[in-house]
Structure 1
Amino acid sequence: MNRIKEVIKEQGFTITSLADKLGIARESLSRMIVSPSYPTLEKISNALNVPIWQLFVSPVEVTGEGELTALIQHKGDFYKASTIEELEQIVAEIKDKAN
């Protein structure tokens, strides 16, 4: 599955505005996005000024930036957090149990 529609939005375009930039009809671009050929991917990535790979995965997915895995053991209980918010909730829960 590609993430072309997401990248279009991330780059500040709409399907219509990107189609205009490419000189094609909106409906044609919509069809092309579903099952793009390599030349289509090149055209879209060039128009959006992003590398082709970014049409399939985000930079965060590639670099792992922004990802968090916290494994916590406290008095025999185990916790796992994948976000800062989850980690904060776990810490608050542990503090509440201690009081």
Structure 2
Amino acid sequence: MGITRVGLSQHINGNPSVEVLERIASALDVPVTELFEHPKNNSISLTCPHCGKNINIKAE
């Protein structure tokens, strides 16, 4: 995505621009709207398009 982990954290916890949201969605291979959807069953599982590992995200 061209940003550091710290930069990504700052964008997520701050007010990310549309450009940053598009880059995050592109890296995850999902539409931007999916970044705002409420996860079903309080968790979501994604597959990293680069390494193929599962990424589990739990909403609290």
Q: Same fold (TM over 0.5)?
A: yes
The CA distance in 2 between the partners of 1:50 and 1:57, in whole Å, is: 11
Q: Rg: which structure is higher?
A: 1
Of 53, 56, 79 in structure 1, the residue corresponding to residue 33 of structure 2 is 53
Describe the superposition over 1:39-84 as per-residue Cα deviations: whole angstroms up to 9, x where unpaired: 0010000010000000000475xxxxxxxxxxxxxxxxxxxxxxxx
Of 18, 25, 39 in structure 2, the residue corresponding to residue 38 of structure 1 is 18
Moved over 2 A (4+): none
Instruction: Report percent identity of matched pairs.
Output: 46
Q: Would you say how many aligned residue pairs link Structure 1 and Structure 2?
A: 39
Q: Secondary structure at the match of 1:50?
A: coil
The CA distance in 2 between the partners of 1:43 and 1:23, in whole Å, is: 9
- Structure 1 unaligned blocks of 5 or more: 1-21, 61-99
- Structure 2 unaligned blocks of 5 or more: 41-60
Structure with greater proportional helix content: 1
Instruction: Provide TM-score, normalisation by structure 1.
Output: 0.36
Structure with greater proportional strand content: 2
